[in-house]
Amino acid sequence: MINTLDKSHTFSWPVRVYYEDTDAGGIVFYANYLKFFERARTEWLRALGVHQKQMADEFRALFVVKATAVEYHASARLDDELSVTAQIEKTGRASVVFLQEVWCGERLLASAKVTACCVDMDQWRPMPIPSPILKLMNPQLFANKV
């Protein structure tokens, strides 16, 4: 499985469940789904050409998670091959709301709504998402602008 961005603008990233992800029963510990979601968002940004270290160095900006709402549907198990998706629901001046899912084959395991905010690294306060990054994330906002 490779990372993809399909026609619905949903990014998908493969994740293998390792022993460290599971509890004593071989089931993925619930909080580890947040790590899977984070990996997919990070790799989605990287696929767009946005590297978080470069963003920090160039714009003194970081994305931090402001809110999560996760629903668990089924359990992932040791050695499962998962597909973790990330799709933008909306962008704001300083925030991005993602819809994310974890799949094992055709089985939905977890779904989430994650809000990430752009913050100024020096003041740790919200700041507008730098325009070049926002343009990559949400190009339709700029489609009719010259």
The residues annotated as belonging to the active site are 23
> What distance in Å separates the CA atoms of residue 28 and residue 14, rounded to the nearest whole number?
15
Q: What is the DSSP string of 81-102?
A: EEEEEEEEEEE-SSEEEEEEEE
> What distance in Å separates the CA atoms of residue 75 and residue 53, rounded to the nearest whole number?
33
